[in-house]
């Protein structure tokens, strides 16, 4: 049967029984949004909570995919099933993308317990965080123990992603004061842990020192202080330790209620994004100039002014609200 | 549109320059291209096509084994429940083999030297063709469909 016409329920049960085409399909539908995505969300949400989601972010080329693949190896050795969501930017000019992260994850190509999906950022960040949360929800409902979300840390993308992960790992490289500056700019705030990857290169200790110093200056309300692990992802070095540190953070969050809190506030912020997206869509329909020929004319001949007209327009569309 | 294409290199030859050019060309034409690296087995290509839910699976073959590799990839895609993805074959394919490849299930063939504009327009046509029958089928089934909007892009 063609997956294109199956219901969310059917696709999900197929996905749960290991049909990767059905799972692939669900992820596309979620990414596309609209009613199918809503239906899928409704079926998946009650089945979530079993998976732990790790976000891996950092500068381009930092070794995120390689490190993700090594972490997957250790997770598999410990008996976990996992899904990897590898997100790359879409070209702003063509809208296309080359999604090449899975080339670095080829060691898992034959392992039925590792599912890999590539995703492009496609336009706005609100949309990205909604699509990512939706995809994570599907993977969680499909029964994976762990979900790793890889994303390149440029600008605000990592913030969008950190909204979809339980724990965020920031990957840096040695030898670059700039790296730490980058960390200062935005990555520092979202990091629960750091990996200084490519620790086979010079300058690892110095970068670690600089990072520690920077962290000590951070004013944080949390009593969690991010650990720093120096890794060589290509050789799997210290990746066990890194995973132990990640699990330590998970346990810390589970014990003090932080995990539930994060998940609840994530669900709320997803709701916010969705409502805002709807309102923006509605507003842009409402504002199509052709829909208000009278108003446009009145504005032009100055029989009304923009502020008054805006209030009137708003009121006519949302009659229950008082003007603001 | 957001059509998705898997670019794979089955077989033993290790040159992926052509495959990379194709990947970039399609990216610049607005496709999401999943690049998978060299020396892929048909069963693994099919598995990736399932996970990535692609519209098109592109095989770049320079080894001369295009007939056998196309045949086994077609079978592997069916096996992995992605028989609906369109297969295209590019590389060193002699003119005389094109009909044979299409008979085996390739939707289109792009021998070395194909103009990139042609590649793009024919890939776009494939995606459109792939969307159309589902849209038509959906008209007749609207009442039963659990997802009125759940058709291919
Ligand atoms: N020397 C050294 N090289 C590494 C290490 N980890 C990764 N690399 C190399 O760094 C390059 C980039 O690795 P990726 O894993 O693709 O990096 P990435 O951060 O996922 O890259 P993007 O997804 O393109 O941003 C590759 O050539 C890797 O082999 C490491 O620990 N040491
Ligand atoms: Mg990567």
The CA distance from A151 to A58, in Å, is 7
**In the prediction, which pLDDT does B150 show?**
40
Please name which of B102, B73, B74, B91 lies closest in space to residue B19, comparing C-alpha atoms: B91
Residue ranges of domains in chain A: 1-47, 49-256
Mean predicted confidence (pLDDT) in A297-305: 92
φ, ψ of residue A161 in degrees (nearest 5): -75, -40
Mark yes or no for CB contact B35/A96 under 8 Å: no
Coil/strand/helix, residue A164: coil
- H/E element, B103: helix B98-104
Tokens of B112: 């070395």
Q: What dihedral angle (degrees, nearest 10) is formed by the CA atoms of A55, A15, A6, A275? A: -20
Q: pLDDT tens digit string along B71-128?
A: 999 999 999 999 999 999 999 999 999 999 999 999 999 999 999 999 999 999 999 9
**Per-residue CA distances from A170 to B9, B36, B151 (Å):** 33, 25, 38
Contact (CB, 8 A) for A148 and A68 = yes
Please name which of A49, A53, A50 lies closest in space to residue A246, comparing C-alpha atoms: A53
Q: pLDDT tens digit string along A144-195?
A: 999 999 988 765 666 666 678 999 999 999 976 665 665 556 777 788 999 9
**In the prediction, which pLDDT does A1 show?**
41
For a ligand 1 pocket test, name from A59, A61, A171 the mutation site with the most ligand atoms within 8 angstroms of its C-beta: A61
Atom index in ligand 1 nearest the CA of residue A60 equals 25
What confidence tier does A116 reach under pLDDT thresholds 50, 70, 90? very high
**In the prediction, which pLDDT does A71 show?**
98
Mark yes or no for CB contact B81/A21 under 8 Å: yes
B137 Cα–ligand 2 center, Å: 39
Mark yes or no for CB contact B27/A120 under 8 Å: no
H runs (alpha helix) in chain A: 8-16, 20-32, 34-44, 64-77, 125-141, 157-162, 177-182, 188-190, 204-217, 239-256, 258-286, 293-300, 306-317
CATH superfamily entry for domain A49-256? P-loop containing nucleotide triphosphate hydrolases (3.40.50.300)
Atom index in ligand 1 nearest the CA of residue A101 equals 23
The CA distance from A180 to A162, in Å, is 19
Report the 10 Å Cβ neighbour count for A47: 15
Contact (CB, 8 A) for B66 and B89 = yes
CA angle A172, A62, A74 (to 5 degrees): 90
**B39 has a pLDDT exceeding 50:** yes
**B56 has a pLDDT exceeding 70:** yes
User: Which long-range contacts link B107-111 to residues 24+ away (Cβ below 8 Å)?
Assistant: B107/B56
**In the prediction, which pLDDT does A318 show?**
79
Q: What ipTM does the predicted assembly reach?
A: 0.88
Least confident of A294-298, B26-30, B57-61: A294-298
CA angle A143, A139, A188 (to 5 degrees): 120
**In the prediction, which pLDDT does A126 show?**
64
Please give the mean pLDDT across all residues of chain A: 88
Mark yes or no for CB contact B28/A96 under 8 Å: yes
For a ligand 1 pocket test, name from A57, A62, A63, A234 the mutation site with the most ligand atoms within 8 angstroms of its C-beta: A63
φ, ψ of residue B130 in degrees (nearest 5): -70, -35
Q: Tokens 């208000």 correspond to what residue?
A: A292
Sign of the dihedral defined by the CA atoms of residues A192, A259, A132, A231, in that order: positive
């Amino acid at each position: 049967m063609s997956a294109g016409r199956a219901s969310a329920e059917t696709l999900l049960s197929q996905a749960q029984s290991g049909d990767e085409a059905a799972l692939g399909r669900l992820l596309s539908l979620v990414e596309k949004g609209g009613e199918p995505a809503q239906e899928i969300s409704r079926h998946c949400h009650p089945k979530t909570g079993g998976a732990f989601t790790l976000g891996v972010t950092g500068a381009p080329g930092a070794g995120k995919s390689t490190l993700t693949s090594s972490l997957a190896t250790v997770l598999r050795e410990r008996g976990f099933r996992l899904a990897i969501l590898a997100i790359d930017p879409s070209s702003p000019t063509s809208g296309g993308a080359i999604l090449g992260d899975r080339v670095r994850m080829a060691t898992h190509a034959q392992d039925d317990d590792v599912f890999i999906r590539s995703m492009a950022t496609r336009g706005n960040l609100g949309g990205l965080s909604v699509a990512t949360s939706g995809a994570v929800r599907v993977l969680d409902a499909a029964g994976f123990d762990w979900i790793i979300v890889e994303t390149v840390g440029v600008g605000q993308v990592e913030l969008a992603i950190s909204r979809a992960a339980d724990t965020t790992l920031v990957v840096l490289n040695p030898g670059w004061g700039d790296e730490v500056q980058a960390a200062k700019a935005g990555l520092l705030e979202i990091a629960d842990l750091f990996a200084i990857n490519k620790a086979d290169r010079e300058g690892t200790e110095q970068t670690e020192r600089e990072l520690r110093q920077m962290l000590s200056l951070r004013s944080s309300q949390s009593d969690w202080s991010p650990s720093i692990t120096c890794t060589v992802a290509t050789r799997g070095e210290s990746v066990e330790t890194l995973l132990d540190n990640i699990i330590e953070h998970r346990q810390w969050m589970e014990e003090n209620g932080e995990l539930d809190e994060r998940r609840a506030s994530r669900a709320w912020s997803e709701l916010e994004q969705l409502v805002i997206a709807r309102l923006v869509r509605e507003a842009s329909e409402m504002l199509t100039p052709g829909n208000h020929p009278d108003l446009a004319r009145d504005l032009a001949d100055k029989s009304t002014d923009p502020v008054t007209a805006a209030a009137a327009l708003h009121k006519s569309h949302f009659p229950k609200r008082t003007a603001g | 549109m957001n059509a998705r294409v898997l670019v794979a290199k089955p077989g033993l030859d290790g040159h992926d320059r052509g495959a990379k050019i194709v990947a970039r060309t399609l990216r610049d034409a607005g496709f999401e291209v999943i690049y998978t690296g060299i020396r892929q087995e048909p069963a693994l290509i099919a598995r990736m096509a399932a996970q990535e839910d692609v519209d098109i699976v592109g095989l770049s073959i320079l080894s001369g084994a295009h007939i056998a590799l196309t045949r086994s990839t077609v079978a592997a895609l069916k096996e992995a429940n992605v028989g609906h993805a369109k297969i295209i074959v590019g590389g060193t394919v002699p003119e005389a083999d094109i009909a044979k490849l299409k008979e085996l299930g390739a939707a289109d063939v792009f021998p070395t030297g194909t103009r990139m504009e042609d590649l793009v327009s024919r890939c776009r046509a494939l995606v459109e063709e792939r969307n159309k029958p589902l849209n038509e089928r959906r008209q007749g089934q609207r009442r039963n469909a659990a997802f009125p909007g759940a058709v291919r892009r």
